[in-house]
Amino acid sequence: MPMPPTLPLIEWPKVFTSGESYDQWITNKEYAENCKKMDEDRRGLRLAAPVEGALKALPKTVHVLAIAEAWCGDVVRHVPVLQRMAEAADRVQVRYISRQQHPDVFVRFLTNGGEAIPKFVFLSQDFVECGNWGPMPWACRLWIARGKAAGDGAKARERVGALYAADPNRTEVARELLELMEIAATEQV
């Protein structure tokens, strides 16, 4: 039986260091209004006490590579959560890249064959890939998949909008991101 093709290895430290810090990334002039909204959301976002406690207790550094562009509505909604969590945790470091900056990386994280963002790639302290998240919480991705299968994307987007409205503090996003951060910071199985 033939061996499946092997994708080239990604030099995660190199990709990560090529990314921008939040402060650099948020200064995007082309989408200044979206950047302003994200930054206001980030500053106003309050994480639940158990989430903050878990972030402070991470035993190892977690690197998160965020593939994000300020024009995207899901980026505007979810980046503030990621960034606020990073600010609450001494051991979480985030860098931002665009799809075009590293197409070889982005192509590995398509959503059902589509170019959906944001994508957050979780890397261990030693830059081992441990998981990814995006472009939206799991329950929302299920509705989008159902909508595609049923040929009713508009109805699926309505359901996603309802889920977003029901979780204005983005607790589900924080829960899912925290789970991946804890995996990337694992010391032993």
In this structure, what DSSP letter does residue 115 have? -
Q: How is domain 12-135+170-184 classified at the architecture level of CATH?
A: 3-Layer(aba) Sandwich (3.40)
Distance, CA of 95 to chain centre: 11
pLDDT at 111: 85
Rounded CA-CA distance 63/43 in Å is 21
- C-alpha closest to that of 70 among 108, 97, 42: 97
| Maximum Cα–Cα distance across the chain | 56
Amino acid identity of 152?
Answer: D
Question: What are the residue ranges spanned by the domains of the chain?
Answer: 12-135+170-184
Rounded CA-CA distance 55/155 in Å is 36
Q: Which H or E element spans position 116?
A: none
What is the residue-level pLDDT of the chain in tens, covering all 189 positions? Answer: 787 777 788 999 999 999 999 999 999 888 999 999 999 999 999 999 999 999 999 999 999 999 999 999 999 999 999 999 999 999 999 999 999 999 999 999 888 788 899 999 999 999 999 999 999 999 999 999 999 999 999 999 999 999 999 999 999 999 999 999 999 999 887
- C-alpha closest to that of 63 among 189, 181, 186: 181
R_g (Cα) of the chain, nearest Å: 17
Q: Which H or E element spans position 27?
A: none
pLDDT at 48: 95
Rounded CA-CA distance 98/32 in Å is 16
pLDDT at 6: 78
Distance, CA of 146 to chain centre: 22
Strand order in 119-123's β-sheet?
Answer: 92-97, 62-67, 119-123, 129-133
